[in-house]
Amino acid sequence: MAQHAPGSGIPRANLWHPDLRASQMVHHFPEEYIHEVLWTGISCHLVTAGGNPVGLITLHGVRAMPRDKWGNTSMQAVMLPLDRIHSATPEERALSVLDRTQKEDINQMPITSEGHIVGVIARDTILGFLQTRLQLEHFAEQ
C-alpha cells in the first residue's frame, strides 16, 4: 500500500458521489424529497428548473420548515440557491474539504468542475474514510 498523508492522494471514487440526484423544482415538494431520501439514502439533491441547476436541497433546509407545510411548499422555498453554495473541486484535498465543511457548518459540499456540478462529498464520508485509514495504519504497524 502506498504511503499518503491522511487526506492526500485519495481517489475521488472513495469519497464523493458523481450521481447527485436531480429534483425537478416544478414537480416536487419537500415531502416528496423526504420520501426520496428515505428510499435512496442520498440527502443532497440538485434542484433544477427547465433542465438547469438552480440550487440544492438538503435535510437541514427541509427541517427548518414546519412539517405541516411540507406538502404545500415548493422546492424553491427550501432550497439553497446556487449563488449561496460553497463548493469544492475534484482536485481539492479531502482534509481541506473537511476543514471547510466544519467551518461553514455544512454536511455536504458539491464538487464543481468547469462551472458544472459533477458530484457531492459528505463530511461523514471523509471522516469515515480517515478513520478506516488510521485503523489500517495502526494494524500495519503491529
DSSP H or E segment with residue 133 = helix 123-141
CA distance between the termini of the chain: 15
What sign does the dihedral 137-13-101-40 (CA atoms) show? Answer: negative
What is the number of alpha carbons within 13 Å of residue 104 lying toward its C-beta?
A: 16
59 Cβ contact partners less than 8 Å away, ≥ 6 residues apart:
37, 43
The pLDDT score that the predictor gives to residue 26 is 44
- pLDDT score of 101: 92
User: What is the structure's pLDDT at 103?
Assistant: 95
Question: Against a cut of 0.75, is the pTM above it?
Answer: no
Give the per-residue pLDDT at 4.
Answer: 45
The reply to whether 18-85 and 86-142 are identical in fold is: yes
The single-letter DSSP state of residue 92 is: S
**Block residue for cell numbers 458521489:** 17
CATH number of 86-142: 3.10.580.10
Ranges of the chain with pLDDT below 70: 1-14, 17-28
Q: What pLDDT is recorded for position 100?
A: 93
Domain assignments of the chain as residue spans, ordered by start: 18-85, 86-142
pLDDT attached to residue 7? 46
What percent of the chain lies above the pLDDT cut of 70?
Answer: 82
CATH classification code of 18-85 = 3.10.580.10
pLDDT per residue over 103-130, tens digit each? 998 888 888 888 888 888 888 889 988 8
